[in-house]
Amino acid sequence: MQVLRTKQEAHAEVERLRRSGLRLSLVPTMGALHAGHLSLVRLAAPGCDVVMASIFVNPLQFGPSEDLERYPRDLDGDLRKLEAAGVQLVFAPQAQDMLGSDGLTSVQVERLGDVLCGARRPGHFRGVATIVSKLFHVLQPHVAVFGLKDAQQAILLRRMVRDLDFPVELRYGPIVRAVDGLALSSRNAYLDEAERSEALLLQRSLAEARRLVQQGERRAAEIERTIRDLLQTGDMLHVDYVACVDTLDLQPLQELRGNVLIAVGVQLGDTHLIDNIILAVRHESVQDADIEGRPITTKPNVGSESQG
């Protein structure tokens, strides 16, 4: 596995690979890798000759009072996991090289970045879109893979790729969960035991929402109320948002129809946690789906947080 630390080296290597006619796929990450990230690596392989991963804790997507400094970092561990998973090229740049010191240009996807997580994290999705654009330019992947854990991010990047004509095929990986149902996240490392057990309310409330929709409930307000009531049984947890929105443009829905993202964001102590389900709601049938409405089987839960 090659590990390239500068844009220049990475770009030269990618040019060489493309000139030999190879198809490249990319899994962008911020490191502190877990089984969720590694599931994306597996999804990146079919139809591609070289699977690349990037590890970059992107300062542009952290607000001034957010956890940039304490965000977990484990480059050696990450490289071991990526190699074992079959990644051939890792791009792990320093912030100074990746961003320069005098950037004036950013990528802003209007509206989609202002709701849900974007409402409390101004500039976050601009930071995401800017860095993903730069990664696409440096690494020139034919395919890029994103997780549905960050469904808003996937929807926004799909829109960016379409609006700016990036020649990249996007793939989406289902949420990978721990045995107890908690969606794997690098930030779970911040949770103490009590917080972690309260964090299970996210998945439980979404499972209850799914059950209601399967029983025929279509009123978004009713679904949102049920989720909120369940979340509020936790005494440490502060609900940031609960929303039923369209997977096309993240617009709030009154009635659940088509491809629906049911998303929650909470604050638990100092930690911000998100989770979601996506349902393809047809007349009588309700199925777990990706943001395109393609049916997905929810991933079997994995053994532990650190399991790769």
Q: From the CB of 174, what's the least distance to ligand AMP, in Å?
A: 7
Q: From the CB of 182, what's the least distance to ligand AMP, in Å?
A: 9
Phi and psi at 3, nearest 5°, equal: -115, 115
The closest residue (CB) to ligand AMP is 147
Structural tokens at position 217: 């409930």
Distance from C-alpha of 12 to C-alpha of 259, rounded to nearest angstrom: 41
Hey, which residues does 262 pair with through a beta bridge? 244, 277
Determine the length of the chain. Answer: 308
40 binds ligand AMP (CB under 6 A): yes
176 binds ligand AMP (CB under 6 A): yes
| DSSP structure string for 98-161 | HH-S--------TTTTTSTHHHHSTTHHHHHHHHHHHHHHHH--SEEEEEGGGHHHHHHHHHHH
> Other C-beta atoms within 10 Å of 208: how many?
15
173 binds ligand AMP (CB under 6 A): yes
Of the candidate residues 112, 161, 175, 212, the single one contacting ligand AMP (CB under 6 A): 175
Q: Which listed range, 16-24, 29-37, 69-77, 254-262, lies at the site for ligand AMP (CB under 6 A)?
A: 29-37
159 binds ligand AMP (CB under 6 A): no
Phi and psi at 177, nearest 5°, equal: -120, 155
Smaller CB distance to ligand AMP: residue 54 or 205? 54
157 binds ligand AMP (CB under 6 A): no
Catalytic residue list contains 124? no
134 binds ligand AMP (CB under 6 A): no
Of the candidate residues 9, 150, 246, 288, the single one contacting ligand AMP (CB under 6 A): 150
Distance from C-alpha of 174 to C-alpha of 85, rounded to nearest angstrom: 18
Q: From the CB of 12, what's the least distance to ligand AMP, in Å?
A: 25
30 binds ligand AMP (CB under 6 A): yes
Structural tokens at position 54: 């990037």
Residues that bind ligand AMP (CB under 6 A): 29-30, 36-37, 39-40, 146-147, 149-150, 173, 175-176, 183-186
Q: Which residues are catalytic?
A: 37
